[in-house]
Structure 1
Amino acid sequence: MVVVVALVSVVVGSVLFHLLSPWWWPPIASNWGYIDATLIITFWITGIVFATVVLFMAYCVWRFRHRPGRTAEFDPENRRLETGLTVVTALGVAAMLAPGLIVWKHFVTVPDDAATVEVFAQQWSWSFRMPGADGRLGTADLRLLDSGNPLGLNPYDRFAQDDVIVEAADLHLPVGRPVKMVLRSVDVLHDFYVPEFRAKMDLVPGMVTYFWFTPTRTGEFEILCAELCGIGHAVMRGYVQIQEEADFQAWLQGQQTFAQLRESSSAGP
């Protein structure tokens, strides 16, 4: 009976913890609703399976406990049970996959009016790039990286000259404006993650990945690397500041462009 009570307590405690947990992140971006809905669907499906299996174990421990004179019965196959479990498992997996596919399509279908911000990851810091007055990012190549060109921008691309460079510092974004996050890594696998955004995406060397969202609340929120990327992984952090439009523009005007960065680098000490 001790084992039975322990198993039932695990199920009841797990359900109560899920329902009463105070540790849900607050919604601060447009994609929080459908991401949370997908997570809740997954929680309930896996939770029902977990509760069913554990309660069945508790029933078996109680129902088939040792009694004098009782012998075991060997029944290696049960076609009806196997068919039922296969069908139920297939339906459960499909119910978890279908919402994820719908959410993924929305996650990567960027609105036409979205601004573009490039996230640049390297061991162990975050840097960022934004379009300048021309409204578009110039081309870049990691083979062009050097001390005067920390993001590998093409110095011969006229669209790159006014690109705003935010090197190893906080990212600022305006509230209420959709933004496409374009992700690059210079060295190893990283993962850009802001928990309150309900958004994360791997940065894969040699690839460009992306996602989009619309910030819906001002404030300061921590950027984490959610992929083990070396000995300094734990300190690869930053902050994103969500600001009103006027405050964001004031910050943006104080940042240096690629042309200014090259000029200051070539001038030397």
Structure 2
Amino acid sequence: MTVFLIIVVVALIGISFWQMSKILSLSQLSGADNSQVANDKDNNLHGKLMLAFVIFMYLLTIYCFVQYHTFFLPESASEHGVDYDRLMVISMVLIFVVQFITQGLLHFFAYKYRGKKENKALFFADNDKLEFIWTIIPVIVLAGLIIYGLFTWTDIMNIDEQEGDPIIVELYAYQFDWRARYSGEDKELGKANVRFIEGVNTLGLDVSDSYAMDDKVVNELHLPVNRKIIFKLRSQDVLHSAYMPFFRAQMNVVPGMITEFAYTPTLTSEEMRNSEFMVEKVSTINNIRREKSKALTANGDEALENYEFDYYLLCNKICGASHYNMQMKIVVESQEDYDAWLAEQKTFKEQISAQASN
């Protein structure tokens, strides 16, 4: 009912303005120019406005790049991310150069050749040479960009499970959290099905499969630096998306099927945390938090904690009410630290035995 009343009020206000405009038009002097055809004065004004608008747009673009450059991601923390970023930079440079030239010429010509009564427009009814030029140049540029993109995409998505002694990790998504599963001594993940989910068996591992018994299920993702990781992605319920922006990685997690993605981490969590970009960004965030904490403490609330950078696995699909909170910490560390951490984790067999004894 409230929404209906708001719509009615908005409609009545619109009708009132419309009636007022009619009254104003009727109250104009009889000698006023009521013609709907633009005159020289109108064309002159609009030409200047077009020129002013493009100058304002360029100044705003420059300001945004200077003011908000810290919102960009830092250097990639994965091997393939370098190629990904290069492709992105080439695409954006091409777009901005073409946009800068064409948009500038469009607005400049709108000003320079604004309509005047004594002028007659010069136009070409047909010009094969011009049409060939403005057709072939975009074709060549786009073809080169697409071919380069296809080669880059193929290199990124070509997953060879035999190359470089990779680690295979399952990422399991459900509303609203993540779990990771590592293979044990046999270096092979056991079979799983959502129908087997019960008790500590939160990922639905097949207890009749010997390969599953030494698998390790964790709620924090640890990765060794400079070693290839192959991710097998599985969803329990709805469509999710595994998003790891600092590694330039994203893959949909689809119910009923296994999707996969692979990358090689090149920067540990500690190295990224101590990088110049991240130190400046964390300092900025903590300054903002300290300012907000002053108001909170003045009202008797707790102050905000200091922020410390960590890699995170996020969900990039709106998968429900708590989608925003669906994340898992990623720790990239040395091979020695990774091996020590993995050795401390309980196997699926140990978890089942503990459940049985309880």
Task: State the TM-score, normalizing by the size of structure 1.
Answer: 0.87
Residue-by-residue CA offset, 1:14-39 (whole Å, 9 max, x unaligned): 46866993433233221121111111
Structure having the larger proportion of residues in strand: 1
Match for residue 343 of structure 2 among 253, 263, 266: 253
User: Which aligned pairs between 1:180-199 and structure 2 lie closer than 5 A?
Assistant: 180-199=230-249
1:175 aligns with 2:265: no
Larger RCO, structures 1/2 (Cα 8 Å, 6+ apart): 1
Match for residue 314 of structure 2 among 217, 224, 240: 224
Q: Assess if the C-alpha contact under 8 Å between 1:201 and 1:210 holds in 2.
A: yes
1:60 aligns with 2:150: no
Instruction: Give unmatched runs, 5+ long, in structure 2.
Output: 1-47, 270-309
Q: Which amino acid aligns with 2:175?
A: Q
Q: Distance in 2 between matches of 1:208 and 1:243?
A: 27
Residue 128 of structure 1, CA deviation = 0.4
User: Which aligned pairs between 1:11-26 and structure 2 lie closer than 5 A?
Assistant: 11=58, 14=61, 21-22=69-70, 23-26=72-75
Residue 118 of structure 1, CA deviation = 0.8
Match for residue 355 of structure 2 among 262, 265, 268: 265
Q: Which amino acid aligns with 1:116?
A: I
Task: State the TM-score, normalizing by the size of structure 2.
Answer: 0.67
Aligned residues: 266
Match for residue 118 of structure 1 among 170, 183, 186: 170
Q: Assess if the C-alpha contact under 8 Å between 1:8 and 1:58 holds in 2.
A: no
Q: Assess if the C-alpha contact under 8 Å between 1:148 and 1:266 holds in 2.
A: no
1:42 aligns with 2:132: no
Residue-by-residue CA offset, 1:194-241 (whole Å, 9 max, x unaligned): 111111111122222212111112113122212222222211112100
Residue 121 of structure 1: SS of its match in structure 2?
A: strand
Q: Assess if the C-alpha contact under 8 Å between 2:164 and 2:228 holds in 1.
A: no
Residue-by-residue CA offset, 1:49-73 (whole Å, 9 max, x unaligned): 3223311321232123233434667
Cα distance, 1:15–1:102 mapped onto 2, change above 3 Å: farther
1:100 aligns with 2:190: no
Number of the residue aligned with 1:238: 328
Larger Rg over CA atoms: 2
User: Which aligned pairs between 1:148-159 and structure 2 lie closer than 5 A?
Assistant: 148-159=200-211
Q: Which amino acid aligns with 1:123?
A: Q
Q: Assess if the C-alpha contact under 8 Å between 2:164 and 2:227 holds in 1.
A: no
